[in-house]
Structure formats: C-alpha cells, structure tokens
Amino acid sequence: MSFKNPIKLANLPKVKGGQFLKVTATILSKKFLDGNSVPFLILTNHIYLGFDENKSNKLPFFMLGERHSCWKDYHKTKTDSGDSQKDYMITGTCRRNGDEFILSIDGSKGLRKIPRPTMKFLNAMLKKINKKYSVSTTGGSAGVIDEATQGTKADEVKDEMKGADEQVMRDLKTSEAATSYKAEKKAEAQSLSKAIKNLSKLMATSLKTVAKNVNNGATSSKDIKIVKEANQSFSEVMKLYEQTSEQVRKKFSGAHQKLNDQKKQLYTLSIAAKQRKKSVAERLAEQYALKKTGQAADASMVKDVNAIVKKAFSNYSKVRQEDLLKMISYLFSKVGIKEDLVLKYLPQVIDQKAA
C-alpha cells in the first residue's frame, strides 16, 4: 500500500524529536504493511527543534513513504556551511519483512553507505517504537550491530524522550503532520464507507434477483456477471478494511462482521448460479413446456426455440434483446413454437410495443 509522508521540506526546521518519533511510530504500525516497499530518506545533519546537535545525532531523521514534490531536488542544495546536502543524506527503498526493515540504498542522491553510528542510533530509535523492530541494509554496508549496543542507545533515546508523549500530542493537534493524518483518516473512512454501501446495495438488489433465478432453476450470463462483480466488490472491501488504520477499522467493525457473515451465502450463491446457468433458448423452452405440459423441455424443443431466437436477434438488431425475448415468449403462448408464425407476427408485436 502506497502512502505519502506528511512532512514537507518547508516544515523540516519545525520538526521536534518527540513529534517525529510519534509520526514514525504511526507509519510503522498502521501505514507500512508487511511485504511492501516504500522510498526512504535518512538525514545525518538534521537538528530537531529544541535539541542540540549531539542529541539530534542520537535520533536520526528516518523518513518513510512517498515524499512531496518539494523534496525532489533537496540533494542538490547547500548546507549552511556551504557543503553539498548530498553528503549528509541516504536515499533508496525500504522493504518490510515482518518486523525487519531492509534498506536498499540508491547512491545517486546521497551516500552509498550508512555511517555506523547512524545505523546504531537508527536501530535504537526503532527499538524505542517497538522492541521487535530492526533495520538492516542489503549487502555489507550495515556492519554488525550487537544487542547490548542497541539496548544502551535505546535507553539514551528513551531518556531524551521523557515527557515528550504529552508534548507530542499537543504539537500534533496543530501541526501540519497532524492535519495531514486527520485528512488521510477521513479519506480512508469515506472510501471504506462508500465501498461498503455499494456492496450492500448490490447484495440487496441485484443479488436478490440472482437468488430468485437460482431458486427458479435457471440463471443467465447476466446472473453470473452480477455474482462475479459481487465477489470482486467483496474482496475489495475486505482488502480496503485491512489496509485502513485501526481507528477507522473500529468504526466499521460492525459492518465488517456482517459482511463476513454473508460471505458463505455469497459463495453458495456463486456455485448455485453457475450450476443453474442455462441458455436463452433453454429458459424460453422450459418456460413454455412447463406452462403447456407441466413437463421439462426436450432437446428438440430447445433446438427449435434457439433457431427462432437467433433469427429474431438478427432481423431486429435495433430492438433490445430483453424486449424481443418477452415478445417471443408472448407469441409462443399464442401460436406455439412455430418458427413461421412467430416470425410472421413478431413485426406486428414490435410495432405495437413501439406505439
């Protein structure tokens, strides 16, 4: 699932350490799903608002997700000391494998290797968010990180973050990052709500008709198409539900459970619809035979009906096929399954219908 990081370049000097940690924790727990790959950016020279340079070095700026366009040429800019920003950043792609985050570095827009101290503190930062999290790189650029070092640095980060949680919440209420996340959650809720409503409407209308046809013993290609669309819509809703944040999922948990309860019914209906699918000729012949004789239509009758239907469709291509079938069925009830008589009187019935 692709997502955009809320931090814009213009707000970089305003980013606080605690706020950044909270935003990163949210991304890792709710946005960055297992098995996905997203762009990453590490800045080794960023100083968090309210931190001195030494403290900032112990909390690397680790940005995950698609970046706003304002970041496009950041690697070409100059630092306050006149150095190239490219010398203080690492970019590439991060792939999530469970609780492990594997970095593949793109040296074209920054360093080709993550400095050992940066990697140590990056691991420590992730441990602060979740003790199971770890980060590594493809190839040998990561070096060896032992658990003792990770634990020590994690404690250092923890000390620096004391009392930050409350401040983070206050900051997030007014920050652009918070506004972006709120807007994103609202968009998620709206998308999920729309998908559930569409599926519910489909199940209450079109699928009801399909069920009726199944019970009557004859379904059509149209019924099969409706069932296929319902299954696809169901899968999309479930996928969308799993990809949304926990906060949004809680809101729709009741609807989700009801849809899950209907999944078995939908599956049964799908199988039954396929088993009972009959051609137009079979359905018309069977309908006629049951009314006239109370018996099932034989192969000869189906063949005669099929010939009539084909000629009618060919001769009157501008008339809706559904209307033509109703007219043919009507003529069957009047003159029987007789090709010459049905095709003789069909134009008159069409004219009456048009009038």
pLDDT in tens, 5-33: 888 888 888 888 888 888 888 888 888 88
> Per the domain annotation, does 179 fall within a domain?
no
Same domain, 199 and 335: no
Report whether 241 contacts 192 (CB < 8 A).
yes
> Per the domain annotation, does 101 fall within a domain?
yes
pLDDT of residue 157: 35
Same domain, 263 and 217: yes
Beta sheet of 37-43, edge-to-edge order: 61-64, 37-43, 89-97, 100-106, 134-137
* Residue 162's pLDDT band (cuts 50, 70, 90): very low
> Per the domain annotation, does 204 fall within a domain?
yes
Same domain, 155 and 41: yes
Last residue of a domain, one of 174, 209, 224: 174
Strand, coil or helix: 64: strand
On the 0-12 / 13-18 / 19+ scale of CB atoms within 10 A, 9 is middle
pLDDT of residue 91: 92
Same domain, 121 and 146: yes
**74-84 residue pLDDT tens:** 888 988 888 88
Same domain, 26 and 141: yes
> Per the domain annotation, does 4 fall within a domain?
no
Last residue of a domain, one of 275, 298, 316: 275
- Beta-carbon count within 10 A of 23 CB: 24
Same domain, 258 and 346: no
Which amino acid is it at 75?
A: H
Of the candidates 83, 67, 89, 73, the one whose C-alpha atom is nearest the C-alpha of residue 8 is: 67
Q: Is the pLDDT of residue 69 over 70?
A: yes
Same domain, 81 and 154: yes
Of the candidates 212, 257, 207, 200, the one whose C-alpha atom is nearest the C-alpha of residue 228 is: 207
CA distance 181 to 28: 14
Least confident piece of the model among 3-12, 115-124, 222-231: 222-231
> Per the domain annotation, does 181 fall within a domain?
no
Same domain, 212 and 288: no
Q: Is the pLDDT of residue 42 over 90?
A: yes
Buried-state track 163-183, b at ≥16 Cβ within 10 A, e below 16: ebeebbeebbeebebbebbee
**174-192 residue pLDDT tens:** 555 555 656 777 777 788 7
Q: Is the pLDDT of residue 286 over 60?
A: yes
Q: Which element (helix H / strand E) includes 103?
A: strand 100-106
Report whether 41 contacts 89 (CB < 8 A).
yes
* Residue 90's pLDDT band (cuts 50, 70, 90): very high
Same domain, 219 and 140: no
> Per the domain annotation, does 180 fall within a domain?
no
* Residue 278's pLDDT band (cuts 50, 70, 90): low
pLDDT of residue 5: 87
> Per the domain annotation, does 200 fall within a domain?
yes
CA distance 143 to 134: 13
Same domain, 294 and 308: yes
Q: Is the pLDDT of residue 322 over 50?
A: yes
In the predicted model, what is the mean pLDDT of residues 286-293?
79
Q: Is the pLDDT of residue 213 over 80?
A: no
Report whether 56 contacts 17 (CB < 8 A).
yes
Buried-state track 227-249, b at ≥16 Cβ within 10 A, e below 16: beebeebbeebbebbebbbeebb
* Residue 52's pLDDT band (cuts 50, 70, 90): low
Buried-state track 52-80, b at ≥16 Cβ within 10 A, e below 16: eeebbbbbbbbbbbebeeebeebbeeeee
User: What are the residues whose beta carbons fall under 8 Å from the beta carbon of 95, sequence distance 6 or more?
Assistant: 36, 37, 101, 102, 104
Q: Is the pLDDT of residue 47 over 60?
A: yes
Same domain, 15 and 150: yes
In the predicted model, what is the mean pLDDT of residues 51-65?
72
Report whether 241 contacts 256 (CB < 8 A).
yes
Last residue of a domain, one of 226, 243, 275: 275
Q: For residue 249, give its domain range.
A: 186-275
User: What are the residues whose beta carbons fall under 8 Å from the beta carbon of 27, sequence distance 6 or more?
Assistant: 3, 5, 64, 65
Radius of gyration of the chain measured on its C-alpha atoms: 33
> Per the domain annotation, does 2 fall within a domain?
no
CA 238 from chain centre, in angstroms, equals: 9
User: Pairing state of beta strands 37-43 and 100-106?
Assistant: unpaired
* Residue 41's pLDDT band (cuts 50, 70, 90): very high
Q: How many domains does the chain have?
A: 3
Same domain, 146 and 240: no
Percent of the chain with pLDDT over 70: 75
